[in-house]
Structure 1
Amino acid sequence: MRLTVQLDMFNRAHPMAFAILWIDKEKRQWSREGHFGLEMPKWGSLHVDCGNTLVCEPNDRTPVYVLEGLNLDCCYGLFQGEAGRVQWCTEGDLALMSGHWRVQCIDNERAQPEHGLFATGGDS
């Protein structure tokens, strides 16, 4: 299952800041499909901790974003329009910045991401 998740409402970073993430639930990877006003890598790994999804850089388990309540291990499944709070884990002395996440699309078909950014093996 792939999800398209929109992150927004980071008003302290920029009034129009957003990011669109393409999430591969099975591979536990994500890619950035679009963004504005938010610094983030092009792709990375996903981890679940206490029912929250941790959006991490490719080779680091330290979260860049924490999608609160988005549980990729949940047995009942996710639904389009589901929403919750996201914490942007900024670097330095700044406090966490809060925003919102929303599931825009759920795709149950197996397909490659548009830009093929999941760099596993020689596929990059």
Structure 2
Amino acid sequence: MRLTVHLDTFDRAHPMAFAILWLDKDSRQWSREGHLGLELPEWGSLHMDCGNTLVCGPNDATPVCVLEGLDLNGCDGPFEGETGRAQWCAKRGRTLMAGHWHVQCIDHEQAAPEHGLFAGGDDV
């Protein structure tokens, strides 16, 4: 299962700050599909903690962002349109920035990606 998640309302970072992330529930990886005003790597790993999803960098288990209430292990979700609070923690040593996340799309198909990060080829 793959999810497209939109992060926004991080007004302290930039008035129009947003990020669109593609989350792969099975591989526990994510990729950045678009962003403005939020600095984050192109991809990374996903970790679960008490019903929250931790969006981490590729080489580090320290979260860049915590998607509160987005439980990728849950039986009943996530579902399209689901929303919650996001805590932006990319800038270490600074106060957390609150924003929101919402699930834009869920793809239940098991099709392998043709190109890019999760294709498993030399494109990475």
Shift of 1:122: 4.4
- Residues 59 and 80 of structure 1: is their aligned pair in 2 closer, same or farther, counting only changes over 3 Å? same
Shift of 1:82: 0.1
Identity %: 72
Paired residue for 2:90? Answer: 90
Q: Deviations over 1:36-86 (max 9, x none)?
A: 010000000000001000000011110000000000000112110000000
Shift of 1:90: 3.3
Paired residue for 1:2? Answer: 2
The aligned amino acid for 1:72 is L
Paired residue for 2:15? Answer: 15
Shift of 1:111: 3.0
Paired residue for 1:71? Answer: 71
The aligned amino acid for 2:41 is P
The unaligned stretches of length 5 or more in structure 1 are none
Q: Count how many residue pairs are aligned between Structure 1 and Structure 2.
A: 124
Asked whether the equivalents of residues 39 and 90 of structure 2 are also in contact (C-alpha less than 8 Å), the reply is: no
TM norm structure 1: 0.92
Q: Partners in 1 of 2:49 and 2:119 — Cα distance?
A: 24
The unaligned stretches of length 5 or more in structure 2 are none
**What is the alpha-carbon root mean square deviation over aligned residues?**
1.8
Q: Partners in 1 of 2:40 and 2:28 — Cα distance?
A: 17
